[in-house]
A and B are shown apart, each in its own frame.
Chain A
Amino acid sequence: MTLNIEDLHQIAKIEQDTQQGFQHRINVCVAAGCLSCGSGVVKDALAREVGKRGLDNWCQVKGVGCLGLCTAGPLIALEVGGRFYQGVKVADVADIVEALGASPVDRLLYPDDSAFFQRQLRIVTENCGRIDPERIEEYIAESGYEGLYLALTQMTRQEVLGQVTESGLRGRGGAGFPTGLKWTTVAKTVDSTKFVICNADEGDPGAFMDRSVLESDPHRVIEGMAVAGYATGASQGFIYVRAEYPLAVKRVRMALSQAERMGILGNNIFNTNFSFNIKVRLGAGAFVCGEETALIASIEGRMGRPRPRPPFPAEYGLWEHPTLINNVETFANIPPIIRHGGKWFAGIGTEKSKGTKVFALAGKIVNTGLIEVPMGMPLREIVYEIGGGIPEGKRFKAVQTGGPSGGCIPQQFLDMPVDYDSLMQVGSIMGSGGMIVMDESSCMVDVAKFFMEFCMSESCGKCAPCRVGTRQIYDILCKITAGGATTEDLATLEDLCDLVKHTSLCGLGQSAPNPVLTTLNYFRDEYLAHIHDKKCLAGACKTAKEVS
């Protein structure tokens, strides 16, 4: 089956007409967060209730991807009227259906003027919470695969590369490498076999952006990868997703088979001479496999261990062929860039960080969930307006960005714009987008210890500084929180951090000391209080004296 643009429009039209045929549409979030607090049962109950009342042709109940406000789950959205119901239970179902077209159920209503929904700018997550991730038709109805069609039929490879470069998009996996430059490099290699890999091995504690995008809008990532395949000259793609994301894996596989059936993946896509296939590979739970060379080793069936770079995967990657590796969110940005042009994208964000960024808000914050904001939004706005501030009236202490490779940003930088370079300046990184908020009850030494324990147990053990160094750092941090450390230990700690940072083989080791270094920099008094006064300023650690 070979589609053309008329077919796409036809599918879109049928889908839109069907949607319009309903007076009311109830969208139930069925991403992992809401699903785990029972949204699946709620959805079934709603459908039953609607059926029982014979309203099948009047009201549609469908499962959609992440609505963002995970803290209020199970969350449902009424598309007509734009209302949100939070914490819905099966017992509420009758009232909800009853209230359709009448005044809403007040006790469930989430205030619709809330900054959480008003202040976001959705590009990557534009379809999240609106379409059924398990139906390709709904994606097509939202202009899905139009970008790929445009790229294949009306643009040369060079033009696609040009648009991506012009957009100023930078890698969303953490380091922020310019995507256009990476694509152009792979496109320039002369090998006839090339690969495109989507890195969905999201492993940072507290981060779930990639999972959410894959669960809510998997076709967007597939489209981005196909465009990348066309632009770089690759015909085979791999999605490397961690096995701990069973729902994302299921939806990606479903999406792949739907796209294959429609001829959007496979041979001679859209009647052109471009062929592209995607396979799914599962990660077995090693954080280090998010590092590109370890990821490649893992796909090849070898142990997931990083190797020294250069040569970079762009010239020497999967099975020794040139390989393009981008993060889920990076690929998800591609379809709108192709549809609206690079210039449009470059108009959003700051001078050096373009577009939007998806963040996973977690920790001591009222609105835990997934948000997407334009680059350059001040941290204060994210925490206090969209995030709703700190619960129980406690005082803000720090934000941890970038996971175990990132750092803790203290209060004095709250008005800092959130973009790649500003975060780098204060010693943290953008990372994949985890944002863990901490209040006055969090001990920063304990936080550093938590992340170091993570790095220690996730270190692959290949290079000596990371393997032994992270363990030594962890031991010293334990000693400090237990109130048994001396000033010399603090000096050794700093010395070890410097060593591990500068001599480790891969990014994991090189960035592992960041949480310790930033907390030492901004919260040194807490370290000193543990050491000199055997006291935890936040009251979180039990020192040796208290324990005994």
Chain B
Amino acid sequence: MSHHPKGKLRTDLNPSRLLTFKIDDRDVSAREDESILEVARQNGIAIPTLCHLDGLSERGACRLCIVEVRGVAKLLPSCVTFPRQDMEVITNSERVVNYRKKILELLFTERNHVCSVCVSNGHCELQNLSVELGVTHVRYNYLYPEHAVDASHSRFSVDHNRCVLCLRCVRVCDEIEGAHTWDIMGRGITSKVITDLNQPWGTAETCTGCGKCVQVCPTGALSEKGKSVAEMIKRRQFLPYLQMMRGRQEESWQK
């Protein structure tokens, strides 16, 4: 069941109702509360995502998972769109693929993503997506913003130059760890993830040092100290497990 933590459960969807629809001309079946993205992945149909992570609430914000639905003028983010009976979804039209590439390029221009000196080089989701989608160059001007590195935490560091503002760190810290150390400040192009009230991570009193934020970060923005170029490999095995345990716990509370 698509479980969105913190009351984000879609009460308008009925998990006991089943339906069939088409993704890229393939007939698929789904429960009403499964997103198009979930169903596509169950059927081996790849849709690129960046802000989505199994086990965290959905934001629908990176816009990489947009798909076309026949008869609907707007492009829909598949992570928060639920299928309807006989819906026809197209995940890989030239139009959406081009849009995805351009969005990735915009993300590259937003901060200073210099792969060759990045701890996550070779293990980076942004990098992998670009390779998959065939992004060979960036057609927009780089913005070259000035961003600092915060290495005040004893075990981890944050490099805002690599951040793509997916807010996985904010969500995992709030929804899974329950600490809510991370949040976001500013708006628009000046947005920035912060710890506590924008103080150095090392002085953030709410941080439990669990490191979940580091493991879910798609790029080299959050990393463990002591890792050199290309050495930071993220381990996310804990998420589905914790999510499952949380689910069980919640069920037992409801009884």
**Contact, CB under 8 Å: A475 / B141:** yes
Nearest-neighbor residue (CB-CB) of A491 within chain B:
B139
Note all chain B residues with C-beta closer than 8 A to A464: 61-63, 103, 106-107, 110, 164-165
User: Is A340 engaged at the interface, CB distance under 8 Å to the other chain?
Assistant: no
> Would you give the shortest CB distance from B75 to chain A, in whole angstroms?
6
Tell whether B191 is near chain A: CB-to-CB under 8 Å.
Answer: yes
CB pair A459 B62 closer than 8 Å: no
Q: Which of A315, A316, A461, A471 contacts B165 (CB 8 A)?
A: A461
A431-455 toward B: CB 8 Å interface, digit per residue (1/0)? 0000000000000000000000000
A316 touching B12 by the CB < 8 A rule?
yes
Q: Are B103 and A308 in contact (CB under 8 A)?
A: no
Q: Quick check: A467 and B188 within 8 Å, CB to CB?
A: yes
Residues of B within 8 A of A311 (CB): 10, 12
A165-193 residues at the B interface, CB under 8 angstroms: none
Q: Is A486 an interface residue (CB 8 A)?
A: no
Q: How far is the CA of A470 from the CA of B191 in the complex (A)?
A: 14
Q: Is the CB of A503 within 8 A of B165?
A: no
Partner of B141, one of A472, A502, A503: A472
- Residues of chain A lying within 8 A (CB to CB) of residue B143: 468, 471, 475
Q: Tell me if A492 counts as interface (CB < 8 A to partner B).
A: yes
Q: A320-B7, A468-B107, A472-B140 are in contact. Are A503 and B12 (CB under 8 A)?
A: no
The yes or no answer to A496 lying at the interface (CB within 8 A) is: yes
Residue B71, interface by CB 8 Å = no
| A381 interface contact, C-beta 8 A | no
Is the pair B12, A472 in contact by a Cβ cutoff of 8 Å?
no
Given A308-B77, A311-B10, A492-B140: A499 touches B109 (CB 8 Å cut-off) = no
A245 to chain B, nearest CB (A): 21
Q: What chain B residues lie within 8 Å of A468 (beta carbons)? A: 106-107, 109-110, 143, 189
B-facing residues in A310-366 (Cβ within 8 Å): 311, 315-316, 320
Name the one of B103, B141, B188 contacting A465, with C-beta atoms under 8 angstroms.
B103
Question: Does B255 interact with chain A (Cβ within 8 Å)?
Answer: no
B241 within 8 A of A: no
Across the interface, which residues of A come within 8 angstroms of B7, CB to CB? 320
Residue on A with the closest CB to B110? A468
Minimum distance in angstroms from A34 CB to a CB of chain B? 34
Q: Does B17 make an interface contact (CB < 8 A)?
A: no
CB pair B189 A499 closer than 8 Å: no
**Complex CA–CA separation, A303 to B167 (angstroms):** 14
Which B residues are in CB contact (< 8 Å) with A469?
A: 106
Partner pick for A472 among B80, B99, B106, CB 8 A cutoff: B106
The answer to whether A459 touches B188 (Cβ under 8 A) is yes
What B residues does A496 contact at CB under 8 A?
Answer: 102, 140
Residue of A with least CB distance to B107: A464
Which chain A residues lie closer than 8 Å to B59 at the CB level?
Answer: 462
Q: Does B106 contact A465, Cβ atoms closer than 8 Å? A: yes
- A-side contacts of B190, CB under 8 Å: 461
In angstroms, how far is the closest chain B Cβ from the Cβ of A125? Answer: 34
Q: Does B66 contact A (CB under 8 A)?
A: yes
> Nearest Cβ distance between residue B60 and chain A, in whole angstroms?
4
Partner of B99, one of A458, A460, A503, A505: A503
A316 to B11, CA, bound (A): 9
A233 CB → nearest B CB, Å? 18
Could you mark each residue 254-289 of chain A with 1 if its beta carbon is under 8 Å from any beta carbon of chain B, else 0? 000000000000000000000000000000001010
Least CB distance from B4 to A in Å reads 11
Bound together, the chains give a CA A303 to CA B184 distance in angstroms of 10
Nearest neighbor of B60 in chain A, beta-carbon distance = A308
What distance in Å separates the Cβ of B104 from its nearest Cβ neighbour in chain A? 9
CB 8 Å contact bits of A129-148 with B (1 = contact, 0 = none): 00000000000000000000
Distance of B147 from chain A, by nearest CB (Å): 15
Q: Does A456 contact B (CB under 8 A)?
A: yes
Say yes or no: is B235 at the interface (Cβ < 8 Å to chain A). Answer: no
A463 at the B interface (CB under 8 A): yes
> A308-B80, A459-B187, A468-B189 known; A502 and B61 CB under 8 Å?
no
Query: Which B residue sits closest to A496, measured CB to CB?
Result: B140
CA distance A162 to B11 in the complex (A): 29
- Asked if A457 is at the interface (CB within 8 A of a chain B CB), the reply is yes
Instruction: Decide if B226 is an interface residue (CB 8 Å cutoff).
Output: no
Given contacts A311-B10, A461-B165, A468-B189, contact A503 B140 (CB under 8 A): no
CB of A459 within 8 A of CB of B189, answer yes
Determine which of B77, B80, B187 lies in contact with A460 in the assembled complex, contact meaning CB atoms within 8 Å.
B187
B182 CB to nearest A CB, Å: 13
Nearest-neighbor residue (CB-CB) of B82 within chain A: A310
Interface residues of B in 49-79 (CB under 8 A from A): 59-63, 66, 74-75, 77
B186: interface (CB < 8 Å): yes
Query: CA of A496 to CA of B105 in the docked complex: distance in angstroms?
Result: 11
The answer to whether A307 has its CB under 8 Å from any CB of chain B is yes
Chain B 1-53 interface residues, beta-carbon cutoff 8 Å to A: 7, 10-12
| Contact present for A467 and B75 (CB under 8 Å) | no
In whole angstroms, how far apart are the Cα atoms of A463 and B141 in the complex? Answer: 19
Return A488 CB to nearest CB of chain B, in Å: 9
Are A503 and B66 touching (Cβ within 8 A)? yes
Q: How far apart sit A505 and B173, CA to CA, in the bound complex (Å)?
A: 24
Judging by beta carbons under 8 Å apart, are A320 and B75 in contact? no
Contacts of B186 in A (CB 8 A): 461
Residue of A nearest to B50 (CB): A464
Chain B residues closer than 8 Å to A505, beta-carbon distance? 60-61, 63, 77
Interface status of A199 (Cβ within 8 A of chain B): no
> Of B10, B12, B103, B191, which is within 8 A of A499 by CB?
B103
Cross-interface CB contact of B61 among A456, A462, A470, A495, cutoff 8 Å: A462
Interfacial chain A residues near B74, Cβ < 8 Å: 502
B80 touches A471 (CB 8 A): no
The docked-state distance in angstroms from the alpha carbon of A463 to that of B75 is: 14
> What are 24 inter-chain pairs, A to B, with CB distance below 8 A?
A286-B187, A308-B81, A311-B10, A316-B10, A456-B188, A457-B188, A458-B188, A459-B187, A461-B184, A461-B188, A463-B61, A463-B62, A463-B63, A464-B165, A465-B106, A471-B188, A472-B109, A475-B141, A495-B139, A502-B74, A502-B99, A503-B66, A505-B61, A505-B63
Chain A residues with a Cβ under 8 A of chain B: 286, 288, 303, 307-308, 311, 315-316, 320, 456-465, 467-472, 475, 492, 495-496, 499, 502-505
The 10 A-B pairs of least Cβ separation, nearest first, read A461-B191, A459-B188, A308-B60, A468-B106, A461-B188, A471-B189, A308-B80, A468-B110, A463-B61, A503-B63
Knowing that A303-B184, A468-B107, A472-B106 touch, tell me 10 more A-B residue pairs with CB under 8 angstroms.
A458-B187, A461-B188, A463-B60, A463-B62, A467-B188, A467-B189, A492-B139, A496-B140, A505-B60, A505-B63
